[in-house]
Amino acid sequence: MSTLRLVSHNVFWGQGAPFDTDQPGPVRSDIVNQLTELLLESNPDVLCLQEVQSASTFSSWSATMEAPGVYCPGLELVQYGGAILSKLSSAVTDATSAVARPQRMWQLVEFPFGASSVRIANVHLPSARQVGQAQAAKDRVSELTIILSHRPSVVVGDFNEQPGGGVDELMGSAGFLDAAVVTGSGDLPTSLGGGRGDRVWVHESLVGSLIEYGVLGKSELATDLDMTDYLSDHLPLWIVLDSDAMGG
């Protein structure tokens, strides 16, 4: 394939927002159905999800979205699992293979792209909520260093850190560019609270193929479902890569 449309979203365990704890129960089918419709509107080739709380929840997302995929549980906090849904990607590795157990998860797949393929990492890095600011900052860099050792070209997900921190320093030194900044969209928030902890990083060798970056607005996640104002506390974001644009 010459183009790749990748969507990333922290689905907040399919609970809807507000949701005050980090101990989710089963997904709410009404939330999942509305989120599925929203996420599939852009016809993604690869869909990366964070905060998928169990293998059975992954199966529910996969069935509802009619797409196969791979699941990785949270390693220290099992409810912070992740999933990559795609009909054409093939699994490379994930956090269950790592000697150093991450707090949450990471996973990598390969997707056909042009005459070759692109390696995509879906990540959810540690939050200060569990371990404090200083330790979380160190752990994010440590986990991300391991992820980068598997040579992804695109890294997406919830980095739990605002621009300008250790994540940016490491990604920049490894040759990655923030897709939002590259496309002039660095002022767009990726969460209900207005922050930009959810990011898409593209390696400099691939950035010539980046033709689109976007974030759904807060109003598009608004809902009138019972006890819920929004479908998630995070906003879906996406990129489009076109291998034919590399030389342009």
Q: How confident is the model at residue 42 (pLDDT cuts 50, 70, 90)?
A: confident
| Residue 66, C-beta contacts closer than 8 angstroms, at least 6 positions apart | none
What is the number of alpha carbons within 13 Å of residue 214 lying toward its C-beta?
13
Give the per-residue SS3 of the chain. CCEEEEEEEECHHHCCECCCCCCCCCCCHHHHHHHHHHHHCCCCCEEEEEEECCHHHHHHHHHHHCCCEEEECCCCCCCCEEEEECCCCEEEEEHHHCCCCCCCEEEEEEEEECCEEEEEEEEECCCHHHHCHHHHHHHHHHHHHHHHCCCCCEEEEECCCCCCCHHHHHHHHCCEEEHHHHCCCCCCCCECCCCCCEEEEEECCCHHHEEEEEECCHHHHECCCCCCCECCCECCEEEEEEHHHCCC
What pLDDT score was predicted for residue 235? 98
pLDDT at residue 41 is higher than 70: yes
Q: How far apart are CA 84 and CA 48, in angstroms?
A: 5
Q: What is the mean pLDDT of residues 133-161?
A: 96
Number of Cβ atoms within 10 Å of the Cβ of 93: 15
Q: How far apart are CA 84 and CA 68, in angstroms?
A: 8
Nearest C-alpha neighbor of 103 from the set 148, 152, 50, 153: 50
Query: Cis omega (within 30 of 0) on the bond before 112?
Result: no
Number of Cβ atoms within 10 Å of the Cβ of 99: 5
pLDDT (tens digit, 9 = 90+) per residue, 204-243? 999 999 999 999 999 999 999 999 999 999 999 999 999 9
Burial state string for 199-210 with b = 16 or more CB within 10 A and e = fewer than 16: bbbbbeebbebb
Q: How far apart are CA 191 and CA 71, in angstroms?
A: 23
* % of the chain beyond a pLDDT of 90: 91
pTM: 0.96
Going along the chain from its start, the domains and CATH numbers come out as 3-245 (3.60.10.10)
What is the number of alpha carbons within 13 Å of residue 113 lying toward its C-beta?
26
What pLDDT score was predicted for residue 247? 59
pLDDT (tens digit, 9 = 90+) per residue, 59-115? 999 999 899 999 999 999 999 999 999 999 999 999 999 999 999 999 999 999 999
CB of 159 within 8 A of CB of 234? no
What pLDDT score was predicted for residue 131? 84
9, amino acid identity: H
